Structure 1
Amino acid sequence: MPDNRPATDWVRYRDDLETVTPGENHTIDAIIATMTRESETVARRDGRTVRASHAKSTGLLKGEVVVLDNLPPPLRQGLFAAQRSYPAAVRLAQGPGEVLSDSVSTHRGMAIKIFDVEGEKLPGHAGATTQDFVLATGPAFPQGDADSFLAAIGRIERSTGLPEAVKQAVSSTARLANAALKAVGSDSASLGFFGHTRSNPLADAYYSQAALRYGELVAKLGVFPVSPALVAMIDRTIDTDTDPDAFRNAVIAYFREHDAEFEIRVQLCTDLDRMPVEDASVVWPEDESPYRPVARLLLPRQDAYGAARQDWFDQKLSFQPAHALAAFRPLGSLMRARLRTYRALSEYRHGRNGQFQIEPARIEDLPD
């Protein structure tokens, strides 16, 4: 849509936009230690080390990101600065850091790795030509900063060893409560986190949840299903009582028959009080700044879960917020925690599994 706001209406990125609290590094160290212990508990039980979050994949896909033509100037930032297409790999997954039956319904994630991206990268990613966007369901995160996230994952760590039946009961209760809120036009990030609807993962919208630098500006990013076959599934539920892998099987079945098209949109920050950078639990008001399209994510018909692809996507690859252009640097307390935590946990997982971390240079490096 056209955007005629004056440039002064947008919050400009500056290096002192963030506020780092005393002790934050200690908090992040504690987050890494807690999530590592959680992974160790899962590994002892299941005999393998999996991702500390989003362990169970439901779709492993290849496609392209096509930047829209004639974007208004505020939206032309980073890899969206000019019309062109980029190869992309997409991993869909359930939220927990353990592989559970789909009857335990939790939030979902979409990780996108975009290839052939030129430009200055964040420290540790220099020389690479990829940009990762690590997204999840819900426009905000249940916890606002690193301290509150540490408290939350402490509770998750204590629950990791509980029987799956207990987790199923908790998620069922949360799902029903969240459905009741939605029926009256409300929502809960925490209930959505632990009791997501039993929809097809392809029918969900996915969000950065926390802020990122957007070139000269500040934004959040979202990915929304737009092709008719996807939109038609938004209000449909999937029976997870008889199939523990119902979501994965639904994604596989979809891509046997259909292409999928999503829209990548950004929400520009206009006011740091109503759209804070340091509190990721705040939903930025869309009546003040709607999500605006900048690109399409196109996923053609394909085998969405081949064995060779699973080895690459689930074992060898790492999707990290730190795999980014400097122009898209994640912002705020929660994102600063993610920058370090994702890297540390990826190194731990690959080390325990006796694998090298591989950052592919080309989409052709990934199997079809």
Structure 2
Amino acid sequence: MPNPLKYNKKFDELNEEEKKLLEINKKSIADFVEQSSSISDINYATRNAHAKTYAVAKGTFWIDPGIPESLQPFFDKEKFDLVIRFSNAQLKIKNSKRDIPAYGFAVQIRDENNNVLSNYPLVNFPLFPVNSVSNFLKLFTAVNRSYIKKWSNLFTLVTQVVKIIPSVLTGSFIKNTIKLFSKKNDFILSFDYHSVGAYRLGDHIMKIKLVPKSVDKNIGRKKNTKEALKSYFHEHDFTADVLIQLCYDLKDQPINKLNVEWKNSPFIKIGEVKINREALLDPRDFTNENLSFNPFESKTIFQPVGKIQKLRDEAYKVSVQTRRKINKLLHGKSG
């Protein structure tokens, strides 16, 4: 294999139009979060994405003793502590028995002093439907406003949805969409989880994949997802392999083209995620709901890479700050 490509801040740079659209989008995020309790008919402000929490758990990241020597400086301990949040991607919380199968597996890695090393919001779909930053910001703003203004913003939303259709017609995207919906009734822990965008690994650039071991996809068919998770962890441990791909060539492993999978980059196993049974945290503890999994709160050498990823920095900040402000007013807790 050739040497991995080195990180360059140019991968993340936004142009002036994109910066202006980002400011508009940030305002729509704040407006959404401020009204999210009434949108979802609950007594707290929610996130602007992955609003629905199924469970929060403690886990352990065990480092594989056989990882390549070049990666060992990044994983210099035998194990690291984890906090993990299971979620659904919808913006509005619904009390339905069966949600759309758009799941989140957000991982926070902490050191021996309980300081955050890195955050990785993993999802069970490996691709992102939009490559254009401008189109994404316009779409995300339209979605937020559609929830706030109800049907009055429908035409704008439909217009933005039409613009992204060409980017979801790639072979990779169609293949993975068919695969996802063929598994729509499968248990949440039976899915593979992906970083979608790229992340730094020191001077290198990586993507992450989490592959569960020996999880029956038919678990919890007669229960909603939250109940199924609770029941599973009452009886079982959970283990998953952690794999990474490195970027060697932008043609085969594009940073800012998220609607295709990386190719010609072998998966490298770096360790395992382990969640012991009875490891779920108290869902009544509001501190768990106020946790942040912002990948830009990671140490610099583990932060996201790419223009779409860069948008998340500002979006997370606005969402978290607004959510905590509202929840402090509602519950007297800042999280």
TM-score (norm 2): 0.81
- Residue 93 of structure 1 deviates from its aligned partner by 0.4
Paired positions, count: 308
1:30 paired residue number: 24
- Residue 299 of structure 1 deviates from its aligned partner by 0.3
* Whole-Å separation in 2 of the counterparts to 1:91 and 1:283: 25
Residue 188 of structure 2 is aligned to residue 204 of structure 1:
no
2:48 paired residue number: 52
* Whole-Å separation in 2 of the counterparts to 1:151 and 1:107: 22
- Residue 290 of structure 1 deviates from its aligned partner by 2.9
* Whole-Å separation in 2 of the counterparts to 1:28 and 1:160: 19
Unaligned 5+ segments in structure 1 are 119-126, 164-180, 359-368
DSSP 3-state at the match of 2:295: coil
Which of the two has greater helix per residue? Answer: 2
Q: Which amino acid aligns with 1:283?
A: E
DSSP 3-state at the match of 1:160: helix
Query: Structure 1 residues 77 and 357, CA, compared in 2 at 3 Å: closer, same or farther?
Result: farther
C-alpha contact (below 8 Å) 1:55/1:97 kept by paired residues: yes
- Residue 74 of structure 1 deviates from its aligned partner by 4.1
Q: 2:229 aligns with which of 251, 271, 280?
A: 251
Residue 302 of structure 2 is aligned to residue 313 of structure 1:
no
- Residue 153 of structure 1 deviates from its aligned partner by 2.0
Q: Which runs of 4+ in 1 moved over 4 A?
A: 237-240, 355-358
Moved more, 213-222 or 249-258: 213-222
DSSP 3-state at the match of 1:110: strand
* Whole-Å separation in 2 of the counterparts to 1:281 and 1:339: 20
Query: Structure 1 residues 322 and 114, CA, compared in 2 at 3 Å: closer, same or farther?
Result: same
Q: Which amino acid aligns with 1:187?
A: N
* Whole-Å separation in 1 of the counterparts to 2:121 and 2:201: 15
C-alpha contact (below 8 Å) 2:34/2:326 kept by paired residues: no
Deviations 1:120-174 (A, max 9, x none): xxxxxxx9543211111211212224323223324433553769xxxxxxxxxxx
1:347 paired residue number: 321
Query: Structure 1 residues 92 and 157, CA, compared in 2 at 3 Å: closer, same or farther?
Result: same
1:109 paired residue number: 104
- Residue 73 of structure 1 deviates from its aligned partner by 3.1
Quote the sequence identity (%): 21
* Whole-Å separation in 2 of the counterparts to 1:72 and 1:135: 23
C-alpha contact (below 8 Å) 1:66/1:86 kept by paired residues: yes
TM-score (norm 1): 0.75
1:166 paired residue number: none
Q: Which amino acid aligns with 1:142?
A: P
* Whole-Å separation in 2 of the counterparts to 1:357 and 1:206: 30
C-alpha contact (below 8 Å) 2:53/2:85 kept by paired residues: yes
Query: Structure 1 residues 301 and 89, CA, compared in 2 at 3 Å: closer, same or farther?
Result: same
Q: How does 1:110-149 map to 2 (within 5 A)?
A: 110-116=105-111, 128-149=115-136
C-alpha contact (below 8 Å) 2:24/2:141 kept by paired residues: no
Residue 307 of structure 2 is aligned to residue 333 of structure 1:
yes
Query: Structure 1 residues 195 and 278, CA, compared in 2 at 3 Å: closer, same or farther?
Result: same
- Residue 53 of structure 1 deviates from its aligned partner by 1.1
DSSP 3-state at the match of 1:187: helix
Unaligned 5+ segments in structure 2 are 152-169
2:270 paired residue number: 294
* Whole-Å separation in 2 of the counterparts to 1:36 and 1:208: 25
Query: Structure 1 residues 22 and 73, CA, compared in 2 at 3 Å: closer, same or farther?
Result: farther
Q: Which amino acid aligns with 1:343?
A: K
Query: Structure 1 residues 145 and 312, CA, compared in 2 at 3 Å: closer, same or farther?
Result: farther
Query: Structure 1 residues 131 and 98, CA, compared in 2 at 3 Å: closer, same or farther?
Result: same
C-alpha contact (below 8 Å) 2:29/2:318 kept by paired residues: no
Q: How does 1:177-216 map to 2 (within 5 A)?
A: 186-188=175-177, 197-216=184-203
C-alpha contact (below 8 Å) 1:39/1:97 kept by paired residues: no
Query: Structure 1 residues 196 and 341, CA, compared in 2 at 3 Å: closer, same or farther?
Result: farther
